[in-house]
Structure 1
Amino acid sequence: MFRRRDPVPFAFLAEADEFRSNVAPPPRQRSSAGQTAGRWLLGLTIVAGLVGSVVLGMPAMSTPSATQTQQSQASQGH
Structure 2
Amino acid sequence: MFRRREAVPFSFVAESESFRSNVTPPPRERPTASQLTGRTVTGLLIVAGLVGSLLFGLPALESPQSPAHSQQNEASERG
Query: TM-score, length-normalised on structure 1?
Result: 0.69
Amino acid of the residue matched to residue 16 of structure 1? S
Shift of 1:7: 4.6
How many residues align? The count is 67
Report what 2:42 is aligned to: 42
Amino acid of the residue matched to residue 18 of structure 1? S
In structure 1, the gaps of 5 or more residues are 1-5
Shift of 1:10: 4.5
Shift of 1:15: 1.5
Report what 1:27 is aligned to: 27
Query: TM-score, length-normalised on structure 2?
Result: 0.68
- Return the alpha-carbon distance in structure 2 between the equivalents of residues 21 and 8 of structure 1: 22
Amino acid of the residue matched to residue 61 of structure 1? L
- Return the alpha-carbon distance in structure 2 between the equivalents of residues 18 and 49 of structure 1: 49
- Return the alpha-carbon distance in structure 2 between the equivalents of residues 7 and 24 of structure 1: 32
- Return the alpha-carbon distance in structure 2 between the equivalents of residues 8 and 30 of structure 1: 43
Report what 1:15 is aligned to: 15
Aligned CA RMSD, in angstroms, stands at 2.8
